[in-house]
């Protein structure tokens, strides 16, 4: 078992059940999350019998770097190999306010959005919490700097790996863990309605983003097959429910695709759909994928779409893309060595 799968409370229980003092758990967590050691033998203030106990029960290494791609804008895409031979990708983005990482939650993805490279590989398995955490640990080691922002927007649907997601969020937010502030973490979902409602009751300060990408069922069903299970009316109802229960603003992700969802009429339809909701729209220039017959909206079209939302008092930004030249931008991760 990967030791990063343990919460702090679980590690305390393990240590004390094996007749070691409770404070040893804090020492172990310090070595794991602050020092980022790669072997138990590096935990020099532990007793030898405790080190032997850890070796007998846990693994510490989850990932191996296969290849690193560096973008002209400083973005780093890392291809990692898991212990079972599967591959995943993570993306490190450098901003003026700090380093941000986009982590993956599954090997492959069953959501199968028609514009996204990640869904080309069907889901093989969920990542456990430790494997998601390890992406941050390994990338910090690779970068030599702290990562202070996390977006759960890589390969896979986070709410389809719900229990591991929650444990991951708990560990990276824990003050004795990576101590990443909850409001510096964003989880994105394609719109699994029951999980959105369940998540509303968790009392987390973690940001929630919903991949909408269309203002009606006709367009959304072309882009996202999940819309057939959870049509747009149900997704918007789930957003209302989340806003009422969690009392936190929701980000709406909207990829702009030429001639499909970027017209002025579509923008006005989106305004009506979101009317009265405490949401923030993140317009994303489409990042082209060779297998998908979609093109990015023209610059003037994106700007016109943005202006319509602004004039109608919808909070909106047009995302600055990063990592496009190394296929590390939104929708381009695909878990393979190119």
Are 73 and 18 members of one domain?
no
In the residue annotation, 116 being an active-site residue is answered as: no
What is the token pair recorded at 317? 């930004």
Are 45 and 8 members of one domain?
yes
Are 209 and 295 members of one domain?
yes
Are 264 and 140 members of one domain?
yes
Block residue for tokens 């072997």: 39
In the residue annotation, 330 being an active-site residue is answered as: yes
Report which of 130, 140, 185 is spatially closest to residue 35, judged by C-alpha positions.
Answer: 140
Q: Is the pLDDT of residue 326 over 60?
A: no
Active-site annotation holder among 9, 59, 89, 253: 89
Are 171 and 238 members of one domain?
yes
- Number of domains comprising the chain: 2
Are 69 and 53 members of one domain?
no
**For position 129, which CATH number holds?**
3.20.20.70
Instruction: Dump pLDDT digits (tens) for 179-213.
Output: 999 999 999 999 999 999 999 999 999 999 999 99
Are 100 and 248 members of one domain?
yes
Are 233 and 255 members of one domain?
yes
| Cα–Cα dist 192/230, whole Å | 7
Q: Is the pLDDT of residue 39 over 60?
A: yes
3-class DSSP state of 149? strand
Instruction: Dump pLDDT digits (tens) for 251-273.
Output: 999 999 999 999 999 999 999 99
CB atoms within 10 A of CB 23: 10
Q: Is residue 201 part of a domain?
A: yes
- Provide the pLDDT for residue 292: 75
Q: Is residue 228 part of a domain?
A: yes
Q: Is residue 147 part of a domain?
A: yes
Report which of 287, 199, 286, 291 is spatially closest to residue 241, judged by C-alpha positions.
Answer: 199
Of 38, 57, 76, which residue sits at a domain end?
A: 57
Sort strands 87-95 and 76-82 into parallel, antiparallel or unpaired.
antiparallel
Are 53 and 154 members of one domain?
no
pTM of the model: 0.93
Q: Is residue 333 part of a domain?
A: no
pLDDT band at 224 (very low <50, low <70, confident <90, very high): very high
Q: What is the mean pLDDT of the chain?
A: 93
Q: Is residue 33 part of a domain?
A: yes
CB 178 within 8 A of CB 148: no
Instruction: Dump pLDDT digits (tens) for 266-319.
Output: 999 999 999 999 999 999 999 887 777 899 999 999 999 999 999 999 999 997
Q: Is residue 334 part of a domain?
A: no
| Domain containing residue 43 | 3-57
pLDDT band at 121 (very low <50, low <70, confident <90, very high): confident
Q: Is residue 320 part of a domain?
A: yes
Q: Is the pLDDT of residue 117 over 90?
A: no
Report the DSSP beta bridge partners of residue 69: 77
Are 28 and 97 members of one domain?
no
Are 245 and 318 members of one domain?
yes
- Provide the pLDDT for residue 293: 84
Q: Is residue 331 part of a domain?
A: no
Active-site annotation holder among 102, 113, 116, 330: 330
Instruction: Dump pLDDT digits (tens) for 74-101.
Output: 899 999 999 999 999 999 999 899 999 9
**For position 25, which CATH number holds?**
1.10.150.530
Are 48 and 168 members of one domain?
no
Report the DSSP beta bridge partners of residue 280: 251, 315
């Amino acid at each position: 078992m990967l030791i990063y799968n343990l919460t702090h409370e679980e590690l305390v229980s393990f240590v004390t059940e094996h007749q070691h003092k409770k404070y040893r758990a804090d020492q172990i967590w310090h070595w794991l999350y602050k020092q980022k050691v790669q072997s138990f033998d590096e935990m020099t203030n532990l007793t030898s019998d405790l080190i032997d106990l850890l070796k007998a029960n846990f693994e510490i290494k989850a990932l191996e770097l296969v290849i690193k791609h560096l973008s002209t804008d400083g973005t780093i895409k890392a291809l990692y190999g898991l212990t079972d031979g599967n591959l995943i990708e993570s993306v490190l983005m450098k901003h003026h306010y700090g380093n941000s990482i986009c982590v993956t939650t599954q090997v492959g993805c069953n959501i199968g959005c028609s514009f996204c490279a990640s869904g080309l590989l069907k889901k093989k398995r969920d990542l456990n919490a430790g494997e998601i955490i390890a992406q941050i640990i390994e990338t910090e080691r690779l970068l030599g700097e702290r990562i202070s922002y996390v977006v759960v927007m890589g390969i896979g649907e986070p709410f389809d790996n719900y229990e591991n997601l929650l444990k991951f969020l708990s560990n990276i937010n824990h003050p004795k863990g990576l101590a990443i502030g909850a409001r510096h973490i964003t989880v994105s979902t394609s719109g699994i309605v029951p999980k959105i409602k369940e998540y509303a009751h968790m009392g987390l300060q973690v940001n929630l983003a919903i991949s909408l990408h269309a203002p009606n069922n006709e367009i959304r069903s072309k882009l996202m097959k999940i819309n057939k299970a959870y049509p747009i009316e149900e997704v918007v109802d789930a957003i209302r429910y989340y806003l009422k229960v969690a009392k936190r603003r929701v980000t709406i992700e909207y990829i702009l695709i030429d001639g499909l969802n970027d017209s002025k009429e579509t923008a006005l339809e989106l305004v009506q759909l979101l009317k009265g909701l405490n949401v923030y729209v993140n317009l994303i220039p489409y990042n082209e994928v060779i297998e998908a017959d979609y093109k990015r909206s023209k610059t003037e079209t994106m700007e016109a779409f943005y202006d319509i939302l602004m004039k109608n008092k919808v909070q909106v930004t047009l995302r600055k893309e990063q990592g496009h030249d190394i296929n590390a931008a939104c929708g381009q991760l695909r878990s393979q060595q190119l």
